[in-house]
């Protein structure tokens, strides 16, 4: 029973962290939506929650190089999303 309780506490902690990522990125998205940019209230929270969830799923790896590669991949992916938004906005 205690093992199951500890598991649910860990799940709740992870959900809280994803919720915090949602709230923080929603403020950025709301500001961009208000200024009528192409990426806004839908894009930023989705990217923030997905990045947070992916890092939580990775877990606490003792290998710093593995964590570094995952973070580099996330940053590259976010860059491609931003580049796509810029190209979409530049089309007539």
Question: Which tops the pLDDT comparison, 12 or 70?
Answer: 12
Q: Cα–Cα distance between 43 and 81 in angstroms, integer?
A: 9
pLDDT at residue 38 in the model: 67
**End-to-end C-alpha distance for the chain, whole angstroms:** 61
| Domain range for 58 | 2-90
Task: Indicate whether 20 pLDDT > 90.
Answer: yes
Q: Cα–Cα distance between 62 and 43 in angstroms, integer?
A: 32
Average pLDDT taken over every residue of the chain:
79
Total domain count, the chain:
1
pLDDT at residue 92 in the model: 59
Q: What's the pLDDT tens digit per position in 24-66?
A: 989 888 888 887 766 777 888 888 888 888 778 777 666 778 7
């Amino acid at each position: 029973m205690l093992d199951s309780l500890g598991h649910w506490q860990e799940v709740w902690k992870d959900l809280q962290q994803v919720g915090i990522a949602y709230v923080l990125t929603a403020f950025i998205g709301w500001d961009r939506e208000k200024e009528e940019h192409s990426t806004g209230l839908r894009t930023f929270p989705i990217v923030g929650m997905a990045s947070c969830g992916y890092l939580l799923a990775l877990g606490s790896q003792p290998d710093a190089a593995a964590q570094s590669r995952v973070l580099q991949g996330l940053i590259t992916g976010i860059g491609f999303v931003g580049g796509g938004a810029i190209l979409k906005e530049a089309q007539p």
